[in-house]
Amino acid sequence: MKKEIIINATSEKEIRIAITEDGKLVELFVESPEKERMVGDIYVGKVAKVMPGIQASFIDIGLQQDAFLHFSDIGASLSDYNSLLEDDTEVDTDEADEESQGTFPQQSSPNNGAAVSVEAPPAKPADRRDRRPRPHVNLVKGQDIIVQITKEPVGKKGVRVTSEVSLPGRFLVLLPFDGKIGVSKKISSFKEKRRLRKLVRSILPPTFGVIVRTNAENQDEKLLLQDLEALLNTWHAIEKTVKEENAPALLYKDMATTSSVIRDLFREDVERVVVDSKKLYKEIKAYVKMFSPNMVEKIELYNRREPIFDANGVEKEIATTLARKVWLKSGGYIILDHTEAMTVIDVNSGRYAAKQEQELNSLRTDLEAAREICRQIRLRDLGGIIVIDFIDMEDEKNRKKIYDEVKREFRKDRAKVTVLPLTEFCLMQITRQRVRQSIIHSFTEPCPVCGGSGLIQSKTTIVSQIERWIRRFKSESHETRLTLHVHPSLAQYLTEGTFNRLRKIMWRFFVLVKLEEDKTLAIDEFQFISRKTGKDITAEYKQ
């Protein structure tokens, strides 16, 4: 599989990073001042609320909304620094390659305090070799606590945080509050895992833990030591800052999107990195030269006239991230709809009508749709609950083929994904780790007219609302002269024909209405002004 990283940085306000596999766009990152990356940032905050009923607390970290801290994400705080775990548990883990997605290793260490003491459920199944008791949560309102953002705000929900702080580097992830040494599961060689554990243990200071990332495989000791020293220096700077700042305050800002993508995703399996900005090209090259000098030759500067995304076929594919309907090569298509609770995807056969029997047609369309859906989920960075309505199939073996195909495709995904087999109604349920808002939010904002629903009230409904307003007005007031402000399209609807809708309303309620067009009003809004006082009286007679 040919994997490439293409970076478009010619715009002053926006940097776009595309990950392609065999020429197809599979991941897209957008960096702009309005959509600043927050995952990985470390704050010292104050406990605003402790809510045992939902096993969580809310932390004031200085943002518009308080951060959400689940009890399962509570580990040691800075005040517990001297009572860190002393054991050096060796675990195989793939968390090292997921910290960029917002997951951090589980930690068990009690916090000091007295107000609330609740046994926290494990965030994920514990390692069988880890026999330590579950942590007890002790939080007091107003207490200072160090937290790190693991999930960006989604909709009206604030950021999610953990007190189990970690600092990712090129080869290692430093765990200041944990004594574990872990190695990525993606390193398959037992001999290499043993070498890395031994090497890391020899250079790691006491009380610190570390996870060895996939990038560390077959790397020289000098490069790992260099990475560790950089992480330790960063942590010591954080320790110094926390003594100088009063909560809430930002202690550490993680890398920007471009730097984090190079740090986390530029591996041996990437054939090349192409960037169209000379400044960014030099920065990336300097960073890679420091930590992975053998990969510097893979970095290319793009300087042709044709835009870099056009030349690599990326721009056309970005359009599919905004489309509700995505066509398949066979003539079928998929529909993606977002709700507050989940994403629903519907598979349709469309124009596909081969001569074979219906079951075989359905299987072929569903298999093609399964591959495209998995790509779209990664590309759009969809998270939470996803339900797919495949075309009905009677044969259980065929439903199993769809399930296996989806599982196979999601092996390429860095996010944690759980897939359930198809039901009798050919519905598939998926949960995917949510770290940030869907990529569509980087390109769009809610419509000021429909509020993001895609629907507005019909003109008939608005006219009925106007009639009800006038009925309430006449029941409480003796005035007979009003000015009505509406959008031009509604004004046209009201005044169509000789004996139009507005005239009928005036005759019915014995009121004289002067109609004024107002382009600043939404299509489904109206405004009544008293001609006697000149005041806006719309709100007084609304239900």
- Please report the DSSP string for 372-422 in residue order: HHHHHHHHHT--EEEEEEPPP---HHHHHHHHHHHHHHGGG-SS-EEEPPP
Residues of the chain with pLDDT > 70: what percent?
83
pTM > 0.75: no
- pLDDT over 80 (residue 100): no
380-405 mean pLDDT: 90
User: Is 470 a residue whose pLDDT tops 80?
Assistant: yes
Convert the pLDDT of each residue in 211-243 to its tens digit: 888 888 888 888 888 888 888 888 888 888 888
pLDDT at 56: 86
pLDDT grade, residue 453 (50/70/90)? Answer: low
What CA–CA distance (Å, rounded) separates 422 from 396? 9
What digits encode the pLDDT tens for the residues 310-358? 888 888 888 777 788 888 888 889 999 887 778 999 998 876 555 457 8
Residue 251 has pLDDT above 80, yes or no: yes
Q: What type of residue is 12?
A: E
Tokens of 360: 């075989």
Average pLDDT, the chain: 80
So what's the pLDDT on residue 443? 66
Question: Distance (Å, rounded) from C-alpha 237 to C-alpha 42?
Answer: 12
Structure confidence at residue 368 as a pLDDT band (50, 70, 90): very high
In this predicted structure, the answer to whether residue 133 has a pLDDT above a threshold of 50 is: no
List the Cα angle 75/77/78 in 5-degree steps.
Answer: 150
Strand ranges across the sheet with 167-168: 90-92, 181-183, 209-212, 172-175, 167-168
- CB neighbour burial string for 163-192, b if at least 16 within 10 angstroms, e if fewer: bbbbbbbbbbbbbbbbbbbbbbeebeeeeb
Question: Which residues touch 421 (CB under 8 Å, ≥6 apart)?
Answer: 399, 400, 403, 428
At 140, give phi and psi (nearest 5°): -125, 135
With a CB cutoff of 8 Å and minimum separation 6, the contacts of 376 are 320, 321, 326, 334, 336, 382
Query: Position of tokens 């790992």?
Result: 224
* CB-CB neighbours of 452 under 10 Å: 13
Mean pLDDT in residue range 294-321 = 85
Least confident of 132-136, 182-186, 531-535: 132-136
Whole-angstrom distance, CA of residue 237 vs CA of residue 209: 18
Show Cβ contacts of residue 24 under 8 Å, excluding neighbours closer than 6 positions. Answer: 317, 375
Q: What is the pLDDT of residue 428?
A: 94
Q: What distance in Å separates the CA atoms of residue 250 and residue 120, rounded to the nearest whole number?
A: 27
